[in-house]
Structures are given as C-alpha cells and as structure tokens.
Amino acid sequence: MLTAEVLDAIGGLTAHVKAYAATLPSIVHLKAVPSGVKPSAEAMDSYEVIVTRTQRQSAGTPYKGLNESLVCSLEAFEQGNLIGTVQALLTIIDQLERMQRDTEIEVGRVDEKRLTEYRVALRKVLPGNQPELAEAGRAS
C-alpha cells in the first residue's frame, strides 16, 4: 500500500462526510443530531467498503496503525455523529504526518498538499462557533 492509496481512501471518506454534512439542517447542533438524520444506507455501505478495503490493503504495512481510527470514523459515521467522524479522520491525518516526520513513510509534495486539503475540508464541516474545536485534529 502506498501513501497515495491511503490518501485516496481519506479523500473518499471526506467526500462522504461533506455530502452527509450538506444534508443536515443548518440549525441542528451537530453534536446531537436527531436519530432520524443519519447518512443513507448507501452512503454507510460505501463508507464501510472504503474502510474495509483500506484495512485489508494496509495489513503488514506501516499504515496498519491507522485501522483503529478508521473503525472509529466508520462507527461515528454510521451513528450520524458528524463531529466524531471528522475528529477520527483528522486523527488519521495527524498520524500520517507523524509517520512522515518519523520517516516511517514517504510523503511527496503532491501528497502533502492533499493532506492539507483534506484537513481544511474536514475543518470546514465542523461548526465554526465552537472555539474548543478550533485546533481539532492538529498535532502538537
């Protein structure tokens, strides 16, 4: 498994998160979404396929350490927990950046740009009026 393949998966998951967020009413507090507002069954299935495929392909690679966060993101997505999903994906991005710093993986300039784009896209989904989330997903 290559970094680009992991980023393709994160990009797919980010697209699902953005699509789901777009279906939510703007006045709903995203921490407590009503049980009737969950991703569609098709979106949940597609999200699960991406997570499962990534888990299978990452076995025996440095990326296997991302599996726990991937499962957390899936579980949160299936529950309609948008913030939990975003936080899990931001954690994965943090893990990838740490792996790069520790030279466990190689990340080229194009892939670095993709990491940044996904972080920005995920942060835009978070409610902007909650300062405690301003640094969510940013490694220290």
Q: Is residue 99 part of a domain?
A: yes
- Which pTM was predicted? 0.83
Q: Is residue 69 part of a domain?
A: yes
- Residue 2's pLDDT is 86
Q: Is residue 118 part of a domain?
A: yes
Q: Is residue 139 part of a domain?
A: no
Q: Which domain holds residue 125?
A: 3-133
- Tens digits of per-residue pLDDT, 60-77? 999 999 999 999 999 999
- Tens digits of per-residue pLDDT, 5-25? 999 999 999 999 999 988 877
- Whole-number Å distance between alpha carbons of 134 and 61: 32
- Tens digits of per-residue pLDDT, 76-124? 999 999 999 999 999 999 999 999 999 999 999 999 999 999 999 999 9
Residue-level length of the chain: 140
The whole-chain average pLDDT of the chain stands at: 86
Tally of structural domains, the chain: 1
Q: Are 13 and 44 in contact (CB under 8 A)?
A: no
